[in-house]
Amino acid sequence: MTEESRPADLVFTGGRVHTVNARDRIAEAVAVRDGKIARVGTDGEITPLVGKGTRIVRLRGRSLVPGINDSHLHGVWLGLMWPGLLMDQLAGTGGHTHDTPTRLEGAEQRRRAILRTADLLASFGVTSYTEPGLGPGEDDGASGCFGSAALRDYADLAAEGLLKARVTALMLFGELDGRSSAAEFAEGLRDFKPPADVPGRFRVAGVKIFADGIPPMKTAWTDRPYGDGTYGSLLIEGESDGEREAALRAMIDAAHAAGHQIGVHATGDRTTRVVAEAFSTALAREGRDARHYIIHGDLLSPQTLTVLASGGIGLNTQAGIPVATEPMLAAALGEEALRDAWPTRDALDAGVRLCLSSDAPVLTPDWRAGLAAAVTRRGLDGAVRGQAQRLAVTEALRAYTITPAWQDGADDWKGSIEPGKVADLCVLDGDLHDVEPEALPSLPVAMTVLDGEPVYES
Ligand SMILES: [Zn+2]
């Protein structure tokens, strides 16, 4: 028997398989063998691979999509908070405000939080996520969720085979949502030794930098003044805007030279412009496939989008943020500012690699809610915010699968349903294209598969 004709371990037939390949092909059936996608095609092409030991999942018209990749999600923190969410608390609508723990105690609780998050994510169809910012900058942090010990916990759990998701981590040498300095950052780059990668399951890919805050708090660094005449500023230590900008550029240069991927929290239009330029400068000096990216990018001018696109720099944003907070941004910076706010459509049209994520526990880790927000831009109050920036379902699905795989430097082996790639899959009880976009969050997740093994079944 040739390798090609050896029976599959698992096959899916009679469905709508959203392959998310380069042409967004829809197939009917998939065969999985040894944890990998063996074949994608019609039922007729797949059934010859059914043998005695093959498990058959009859999709009966339901959807199969690649395992979802939530490319910006605080896993330890979510495991502590869930079902509490920050946005619920901010909006005053959550029922969990009073009983949500705010501090994690000890190694055992931290491990439990990570495992709890992985179980939760499996129930949503999520098979990969990025933990954006763990490290020595938060070793004495108030929540206990972002210190360097969590990097070791992830590595240990992955090595023990207990981590039911693929996790990419970014190191943090300053405070989460807080200050940092070029000096302590350089020290971190030089002295901090992250745990070794666990192939396929855990990888420390690079560093996270908090460049500024957020517009509603008047802490985003902007071109337009806030109502009180201020412009916000960078969070990097320095005596003036010029010094702070120079320090940020030096940090980006140093991390790039050290071979790291860099994700920068940047929300104000002045910050996103400076970060995009700094990435471009670093890449021009030493070209490599670095996959740097801007996180959030609330305000992005058309010129900045062009710099991102031409530099191969990604944008990682959360569609749930504009639908919930656009009025706050308009109140802080005026209606005019909305022109360049959360430009997901413009980013794709400009050729920027766009990832959508949850930032959980800021927003719900339910990607279906994020997908619906990206497609409708409709908030829970029914108002549409940024109608011109809406995405097609297919585009939003790419932003939760293949483009995050690109962000992970892993688009050659995960992120789409193509032969040879790992069998990370999600079965939906229905089809993404058959339901009204508003109803996408009600499409049940029936099954989640990681490396060819079911990790969740409803
Ligand atoms: Zn975040």
What is the residue whose two structure tokens read 């609508």? Answer: 93
> Residues 197-232: pLDDT tens digits?
999 999 999 999 999 999 999 999 999 999 999 999
Helix (H) or strand (E) holding 31: strand 29-33
Task: Name residue 47's beta-bridge partners.
Answer: none
Q: Which residues surround ligand 1, an ion (CB under 5 A)?
A: 359
b/e 152-162 (16+ beta carbons within 10 angstroms → b): ebbbbbbeeee
Q: Which pLDDT value is given to residue 94?
A: 46
Token pair for 3: 């390798």
DSSP 26: E
DSSP structure string for 139-178: TT-SSSSSSTHHHHHHHHHHHTT---SEEEEEEESS-TTS
Percent of the chain with pLDDT over 90: 92
Of the listed ranges 25-39, 88-102, 124-138, 244-258, the one predicted with least confidence: 88-102
Given a cut of 90, is residue 381 above it in pLDDT?
no
The mean pLDDT of the chain is: 95
Question: pLDDT band at 131, cuts 50/70/90?
Answer: very high
* pLDDT tens-place string over residues 189-199: 999 999 999 99
Using the mean position of ligand 1's atoms as its centre, give its distance from the Cα of residue 72 in Å: 6
DSSP annotation of 22: T
Superfamily of domain 3-65+420-457: Urease, subunit C, domain 1 (2.30.40.10)
* Distance from Cα 317 to the centre of ligand 1, integer Å: 10
Say if residue 374's pLDDT is above 70.
yes
CA of 210 to the centre of ligand 1 (A): 10
In the chain, which segments carry CATH 3.20.20.140?
A: 68-407
| Interval between CA 314 and ligand 1 midpoint (Å) | 16
Domain with CATH 2.30.40.10 in the chain: 3-65+420-457
Alpha-carbon gap, residue 326 to 335, rounded angstroms: 10
Element (H, E) at 16: strand 16-18
- Coil, strand or helix at 201: coil
**pLDDT mean over 4-20:** 96
Q: What is the pLDDT of residue 401?
A: 98
Chain position carrying tokens 């999985």: 32
271-287, pLDDT tens digit by residue? 999 999 999 999 999 99
**pLDDT higher than 90, residue 361:** yes
pLDDT at residue number 99: 62
Give, in order, the Cα–Cα distances in Å from 103 to each of 139, 149, 219, 253, 456. 13, 15, 25, 34, 29
Domain 68-407 has CATH 1.20.120.330: no
Q: How far is the CA of 73 from the centre of ligand 1 (A)?
A: 6
List of residues 6+ apart from 187 with CB closer than 8 A: 173
Q: In this predicted model, what pLDDT tens digit does every residue of 134-191 receive, in sequence order?
A: 999 999 999 999 999 999 999 999 999 999 999 999 999 999 989 999 999 999 999 9
Q: List Cα–Cα distances, 169 to 85, 151, 194, 446, in angstroms.
A: 21, 8, 10, 28
DSSP letters spanning 1-47:
--GGGSPPSEEEESSEEE---TT--EESEEEEETTEEEEEE-HHHHG
Q: How far, in Å, from the CA of 315 to the mean position of ligand 1?
A: 13
Residue 11 corresponds to which tokens in the numbers above? Answer: 């096959």
